[in-house]
Amino acid sequence: MAGDLKTGTPSPREKKLRPWPFLLPVLGLTLLACWWGQHPHLTAFELYHSLGSPLLRLLVYLAVGLALAQTVESRGWAHRLGAWLKPLLAWGRLKPESGASFTAAMISGLLANTMLWTFRQEGRLSQRELVLSYLFNNGLAVYLLHLTTTFVIIWPLVGEAGLIYLGLMLAAALLRSGLVLVYSRFRLPADTALGDLAPAISLSPRTSWPKEIWPKFRRRFSRLCLYTLPIYLIVYIVNDWGLFRWLRTAGAAWVSLGFLPVEAAGVVIFSLAAEFASGVAAAGALLQAGALTVKQTVLALVLGNLVATPIRALRHQLPTHMGIFSPKLGAELLLLSQGVRLLSVVVVTVPYGLWG
């Protein structure tokens, strides 16, 4: 149990002095000073637009997500947000907090992860339940979160191939979430079943709600900033040094396209070098020109997704994961989710490639 559930008083473990919150800012500022020394003509205005503005926007999103997560926790709303998932969660022996985070994951990944960590800190979820809930969210919920944006890009450019691609991604997402439920049913104790979805704690009077969440919000947001800021700086600097460009180049060289026409390499390279939409645009052009069939286009899109998504996750999600969770847990969750995602996509794509 992490501290007092009603007052948010830190537990002795939380009060223990740890070096990470102090060493990370020093390391981040040191790297920033070294990097700025290599860019002597960079003005403060340019630095703000390239680094300061995106970082401030990220911190605002994190603050809003943390405030909403603590509101849900303090008001006892988790059982309401997860009620529509009651049969699935009950079968998988997951708690209403897992359902609440799943619902939030269809709106914002930051919000869902913040809720999970808040529930963990309040003792509402165990470490295993947090990991399983995170993986459960990274299946169907994350797919639905990005579905609208992905559909409006894919359908006009590659048509039928895009629909097949989305179908494969849906199958992979369902497979991930389904396997998590099966695993949790056999690994979680039966007493975690939902029952009547009663709230885990009694609700505080409405008038005391702001006073109840403010101390916890202030303490946790300060901790979150201590981790997120320097990690974001480190990722920003190593990106400027060309680390992610090197990973993209190495990834493109590593991928073997012996089972696809050489034209498909353009789809993968564009997916790596730019964003997903560039790969889809390249696939659409090759499909319209007759250089790729529908099946080859689908496989090229899947391959581009497999090699590009982990690099983007490392660049964009690592700072927030290590800030919201602990650095060790955040890195482990990100690597685990990407590994499970890759395996699930391969499992549903291989049959299509062989017999589709």
CA–CA separation, 341 and 228 (whole Å): 25
| Contacts for 346 with CB less than 8 Å, ≥ 6 apart | 306
**Terminal-residue alpha carbon distance, the chain:** 51
pLDDT recorded at residue 204: 46
pLDDT recorded at residue 195: 43
Helices 53-75 and 209-240, packing angle to 10 deg:
150
Q: Which two tokens stand for residue 326?
A: 């602990």
What is the DSSP secondary-structure string of 95-138? Answer: -HHHHHHHHHHTT-HHHHHHHHHHHHHTTSS-HHHHHHHHHHII
Amino acid symbol at 307: V
* Averaged pLDDT in 10-residue chunks for the chain of 356 residues: 41 49 62 63 70 79 78 68 79 89 88 89 90 95 88 86 94 96 90 47 51 74 76 74 66 55 60 65 79 86 84 82 87 94 95 85
pLDDT recorded at residue 169: 95
What does each C-alpha distance from 194 to 22, 121, 176 come to in angstroms?
A: 40, 20, 22
Q: What is the pTM of this model?
A: 0.76
* Residue (of 135, 141, 165) closest to 153 by Cα position: 165
Q: Give the start-to-end residue ranges of the domains of the chain.
A: 52-191+216-355
Q: Give me the residue label for tokens 């003005």.
A: 43
pLDDT recorded at residue 132: 96
pLDDT recorded at residue 271: 59
pLDDT recorded at residue 196: 42
